């Protein structure tokens, strides 16, 4: 009998990390996965870095105790606050973290203007400041703290065309339009919740371009595929052989029913969830 595939843990404050989960599943269909959402404390993006660090360390400890051999911190805010502390506290566990895609955006922009859509805590972190210092020195970086975006995804009931569609168009447009008005041709999604708002981001871009026929093309950067590729690389280094069907489970510190309802909408298939008290 072969050795079981090593378990991958995926952590986020809420459902946003499912944007990373789906990329990992696409790249590593054989991987067993455990997802943990700390919805008792969502959103992280408006909490202090110290508080986010403590919450993330506690969650990672639970995932490791459950048997996870690789832990993906599928949250930009948690990565910015806790990644160094996680690696120091759990030195034998590989951690894969998120960071805003400043580097590819800097290499791609033609106008020299990059818009960063993120949470306030991510934008004031040293990790983010280091990225901007390294890759954004000759660029105009416009930071847009997207208040309300995380909460909108956390309560999402359906996709484009739903009753909530008009409210989402307004919420997203209010953040995206000012960036386009300042000539941004590259938008960075600096939170794992935000890819689930991409249809409305694209709508805002299309509306701007329709109103400004000479407007340039706009590229949206989502770091989730790159994180999934790195996770696959780390996971393969631990993998020998395997038997059976990969097990996948979802846990939340909030409402299991609510998580299951929203996650099923976001992923497009039924998602069972269990309640965890940390």
Specify the pLDDT at position 157. Answer: 79
Residue 191: active-site member: yes
CA angle 185, 191, 194 (to 5 degrees): 70
Flag whether pLDDT at 161 surpasses 80.
Answer: no
- Is the separation of the CB atoms in 72 and 24 below 8 Å? yes
Averaged pLDDT, 162-169: 80
According to the annotation, is 77 in a ligand binding site? Answer: yes
Averaged pLDDT, 133-162: 88
Averaged pLDDT, 139-159: 92
Q: How far separated are the first and last CA of the chain, in Å rounded?
A: 35
Specify the pLDDT at position 160. Answer: 52
According to the annotation, is 264 in a ligand binding site? Answer: no
According to the annotation, is 245 in a ligand binding site? Answer: no
According to the annotation, is 34 in a ligand binding site? Answer: no
Pick the catalytic residue from 68, 146, 175, 191.
191
In angstroms, rounded to a whole number, what is the distance separating the alpha carbons of residues 102 and 114? Answer: 8
According to the annotation, is 35 in a ligand binding site? Answer: no
Averaged pLDDT, 14-34: 96
Flag whether pLDDT at 61 surpasses 80.
Answer: yes
**Residue in 129, 132, 27 with CA at minimum distance from that of residue 80:** 129
The pLDDT-based confidence of 3 (bands split at 50, 70, 90) is very low
Specify the pLDDT at position 4. Answer: 61
pLDDT, mean over the chain: 93
Flag whether pLDDT at 1 surpasses 50.
Answer: no
- How is residue 30 written in tokens? 């054989």
Averaged pLDDT, 225-229: 96
Specify the pLDDT at position 5. Answer: 74
According to the annotation, is 192 in a ligand binding site? Answer: yes
Q: What is the CA radius of gyration of the chain?
A: 19
For 228-276, write each residue's pLDDT tens digit: 999 999 998 886 555 556 789 999 999 999 999 999 999 999 999 999 9
Averaged pLDDT, 101-119: 97
Flag whether pLDDT at 177 surpasses 80.
Answer: yes
- 143: part of which helix (H) or strand (E)? strand 140-145
Specify the pLDDT at position 193. Answer: 97
Q: Which domains does the chain have, with CATH numbers?
A: 7-98+225-275 (3.40.50.1860), 103-221 (3.40.50.1860)
- 175: part of which helix (H) or strand (E)? helix 165-181
Residue 175: active-site member: no
The contacts of residue 51 (CB under 8 Å, 6+ apart) are none
Q: Is 271 helix (H, G, I), strand (E, B) or coil?
A: coil
Flag whether pLDDT at 59 surpasses 70.
Answer: yes
Q: In degrees to the nearest 10, what's the CA dihedral of 184, 185, 189, 195?
A: 130
- Is the separation of the CB atoms in 58 and 82 below 8 Å? no
For 65-101, write each residue's pLDDT tens digit: 999 999 999 999 999 999 999 999 999 999 999 999 9
According to the annotation, is 193 in a ligand binding site? Answer: yes
In angstroms, rounded to a whole number, what is the distance separating the alpha carbons of residues 43 and 51? Answer: 12
Pick the catalytic residue from 68, 75, 146, 175.
75
The contacts of residue 169 (CB under 8 Å, 6+ apart) are 200, 203, 204
């Amino acid at each position: 009998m072969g050795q079981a595939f090593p378990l991958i843990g995926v952590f986020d404050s809420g459902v946003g990390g499912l944007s990373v989960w789906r990329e990992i599943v696409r790249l590593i269909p054989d991987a067993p996965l455990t997802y943990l959402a700390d919805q008792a404390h969502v959103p992280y993006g408006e909490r202090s870095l110290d508080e986010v660090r403590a919450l993330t360390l506690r969650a990672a400890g639970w995932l490791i105790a459950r048997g996870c051999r690789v832990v993906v911190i599928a949250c930009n805010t948690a990565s910015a606050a806790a990644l160094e502390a996680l690696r120091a506290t759990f030195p034998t566990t590989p951690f894969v973290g998120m960071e805003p895609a400043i580097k590819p955006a800097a290499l791609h922009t033609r106008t020299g203007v990059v818009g960063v859509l993120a949470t306030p805590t991510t934008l004031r972190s040293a990790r983010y400041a280091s990225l901007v210092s390294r890759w954004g020195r000759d660029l105009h970086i416009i930071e847009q703290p997207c208040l309300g975006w995380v909460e909108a995804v956390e309560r999402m009931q359906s996709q484009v065309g739903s009753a909530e569609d008009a409210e989402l168009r307004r919420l997203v447009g209010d953040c995206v339009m000012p960036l386009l008005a300042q000539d941004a041709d590259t938008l960075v999604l600096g939170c794992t919740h935000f890819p689930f708002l991409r249809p409305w981001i694209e709508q805002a871009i299309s509306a701007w371009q329709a109103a400004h026929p000479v407007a340039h093309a706009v590229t949206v950067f989502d770091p989730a595929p790159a994180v999934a590729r790195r996770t696959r690389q780390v996971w393969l280094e631990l993998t020998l052989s395997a038997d059976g069907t990969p097990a996948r489970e979802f846990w939340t510190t909030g409402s299991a029913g609510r998580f299951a309802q929203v996650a099923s909408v976001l992923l497009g298939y039924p998602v069972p969830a269990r309640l965890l008290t940390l």
